[in-house]
Structure 1
Amino acid sequence: MDNRTIDFNGTSEEAKKRKQIARTLAGLDTNMTLDILPELDLLIPRPSQEEVELLEESILAEGLREPISIWKHNSKQIIVDGHNRYAILKRHNLPLEVNILHFQDIEEVKDWMINTQLGRRNLTDEKRAYLIGMKYEREKKQQGRKKKLDEEKRKDFPLLEGNTSNISAKTIANQVNQSDRTIRNYASFYRGVNLLSTEMQSDLLEGNIKISKGHLKKISQHAGQIKQPIQDLEELSKTVERFTLKSAPMPKPKASRALLEKDMIAKAEQVFAQSEHLTVEERAQLLDSLSQWAQSQKEQL
């Protein structure tokens, strides 16, 4: 396997042409080392052991079918797609083939990675929920920054029209074929997961542990009070319990017997007053019914 590099700068047609040319040229076999950023690595689904073995067999038998995508930034060559392929190639000391993708900053990298991962089939339900929640939160934040910049511009140019488009749960819902309520739940799930330790996040998103979405929603509602990442399930349970007790409504003070009797008599008088249109016999029957009800309640004591 030869080492090849494909630079994807320019239009899609130019990139496609360069890709075709580059794949026909054999480069030098160099020991290229790529960089992995933990905050980007979290966006990549972890394959099962069986999937790793099948991928490894395929690479050893047929070579690399799809190059590893990287972002060159500050003298680093950061992997944005192909973490698992890279691990296999390094393990067997095989040369690399990479695509160089161009991004303005790491935020644009994350947007690209989120959309790329959401197009894949091997995502756990937790990972998909996390990515969709992240997508919604990120686009909301970007929309807020853009709105603020537009407002600053209009101070100097009052006639400048602002962009009135807003990112809403419904917007993302249409993109991923879900309800807007589900998108808001995913956003709450995403915020809750971010309050966990890195190890817990990885275990949860890969399906190795289960955590109630209600628990994640509860801690996300009190994110400002959580100063350190939650380390394990026991700590999570205690944290949820603390916030649940804290937010529980205070029980109403018990009314005295005298007040209860007074209130009951007042309601009975009100009912009897509304029965003025009844005949004397009917009113007598009503009083008898009230008396029977009172007696039955007394017998239950």
Structure 2
Amino acid sequence: MAKKIIIPAVKSAANQKLQQDQAIKDNIRIIDELRDLIPPLQGEEFRQLQDNILKQGCREPILLWRNGTDYVLVDGHNRYRICTENNIKFDFRLLHFEDIGKAKHWMIENQLGRRNLTPEQASYLRGLRYESEKMDNRGYGQVESKGQNVLSTSERIAKEYNVSEKTIKRDAKFARGLDAVGSKNPELKRDLLAGDVKARKADIQKLADVPAEEIGVIDKPEDIAKAVTKSSPKTDTAPSDPKKEAFVHHRKEILRALELVGKKMDAPSYDNLIAKLDELKAILEI
């Protein structure tokens, strides 16, 4: 008698679990801002992954962040695409983050822990991490003290990935330059990161300092070099003025800080703006 009661109860619990899982799968959301943190696979890599899943099924769960009633995809974008396009079953695992900023931190660090990154992809992700953490005073961007030595954000990240501090700062410019490309042509940005098309890394880094309104149309890699050349100041026979050059540089930094304040409206972005203004006051000696 007991068995007859237990078996229906087990079946009912199993059915309920299946319904709950399906409800989650029906509410999976892809956020472009997060998806773009995932370095795209090259054509052959994607085809190989697709062949493996078609033959063996999806053996790794995709990772989801529960954000209210949404379940945001944070890892497994390619597997999710292949499974949904081919009606293949997949499992998932839930992760918990306080906000989208914490989700981005986790995604960047998770991607940097993978071995199949190209040098350009690793550079882009390190640059994104530096740009994010230098602005974050809530635990990620704070300096690390060791005795009387204090590590800056760039020094700390450089030490972690065994590269120079200058490399991290060049990575940051590369990341900003690629994001500038992406704002004009998202597909070209993905192709550059995937390695399907090539552009000089130095030109992409220089693009980081070109005002958005001066970049113009970017349809192909050659347009990046043109945008940089067009924006480059003409040579002048007059001697350079270090104070003026520093002013121009900080003017751009302050404009970026103002844009960030407008977007985030939080204490760290305000603190960053104040710091940039203080640096400018020191240069102008006022």
Structure 2 length as normaliser, TM-score? 0.65
- Structure 1 stretch 78-87 or stretch 92-101: which is displaced more? 92-101
Residues 195, 226 of structure 1: 8 Å contact kept: no
RMSD: 3.0
54 and 35 in structure 1: CA distance in 2 versus 1, 3 angstrom threshold: same
Confirm or deny that 1:42 pairs with 2:36.
yes
Confirm or deny that 1:189 pairs with 2:174.
yes
Aligned to 2:236: 249
Q: CA deviation at 1:227?
A: 6.8
Residues 198, 221 of structure 2: 8 Å contact kept: no
Q: Hey, what's the Cα distance between the residues in 2 that align with 1:247 and 1:110?
A: 39
Which of 210, 223, 231 matches 1:222?
A: 210
Residues 189, 213 of structure 1: 8 Å contact kept: yes
Confirm or deny that 1:80 pairs with 2:70.
no
Q: CA deviation at 1:213?
A: 2.3
Confirm or deny that 1:167 pairs with 2:161.
no
53 and 214 in structure 1: CA distance in 2 versus 1, 3 angstrom threshold: closer
Aligned to 1:91: 85
Aligned residues: 212
Q: Hey, what's the Cα distance between the residues in 1 that align with 2:221 and 2:231?
A: 15
Q: Deviations over 1:40-98 (max 9, x none)?
A: 11111222333333323433443332111011224222110001111121122123311
250 and 216 in structure 1: CA distance in 2 versus 1, 3 angstrom threshold: farther
The DSSP-based 3-state class of the residue aligned with 1:188 is helix
Q: Hey, what's the Cα distance between the residues in 2 that align with 1:51 and 1:205?
A: 14
Q: Hey, what's the Cα distance between the residues in 2 that align with 1:218 and 1:188?
A: 7
Q: Hey, what's the Cα distance between the residues in 2 that align with 1:229 and 1:68?
A: 36
The DSSP-based 3-state class of the residue aligned with 1:77 is strand
Aligned to 1:200: 188
Aligned to 1:210: 198
The DSSP-based 3-state class of the residue aligned with 2:126 is helix
Q: Deviations over 1:4-54 (max 9, x none)?
A: xxxxxxxxxxxxxxxxxxxxx785274723221111111112223333333
Residues 57, 89 of structure 2: 8 Å contact kept: no
Q: CA deviation at 1:241?
A: 1.5
Q: CA deviation at 1:137?
A: 1.0
224 and 51 in structure 1: CA distance in 2 versus 1, 3 angstrom threshold: closer
The DSSP-based 3-state class of the residue aligned with 2:180 is coil
Q: Hey, what's the Cα distance between the residues in 2 that align with 1:250 and 1:233?
A: 32
Is the helix fraction higher in 1 or 2? 2
Aligned to 1:127: 121
Which of 118, 141, 145 matches 2:112?
A: 118
Q: CA deviation at 1:193?
A: 1.1
Letter in 1 for 2:38: I
Aligned to 1:257: none
Could you list the runs of 5+ residues in structure 1 that have no partner in the other structure? Answer: 1-24, 148-163, 253-301
Letter in 1 for 2:235: A
Residues 216, 227 of structure 2: 8 Å contact kept: no
Which of 180, 187, 190 matches 2:165?
A: 180
Percent of pairs identical after alignment? 36
Letter in 1 for 2:166: R
Q: CA deviation at 1:200?
A: 1.9
Aligned to 1:28: 18
Q: Hey, what's the Cα distance between the residues in 1 that align with 2:227 and 2:94?
A: 44
Whose radius of gyration is greater, 1 or 2? Answer: 1
Residues 180, 212 of structure 2: 8 Å contact kept: no
Q: Hey, what's the Cα distance between the residues in 2 that align with 1:207 and 1:234?
A: 15
Could you list the runs of 5+ residues in structure 2 that have no partner in the other structure? Answer: 1-13, 141-148, 240-286
Aligned to 1:299: none
Structure 1 length as normaliser, TM-score? 0.62
Residues 134, 153 of structure 2: 8 Å contact kept: yes
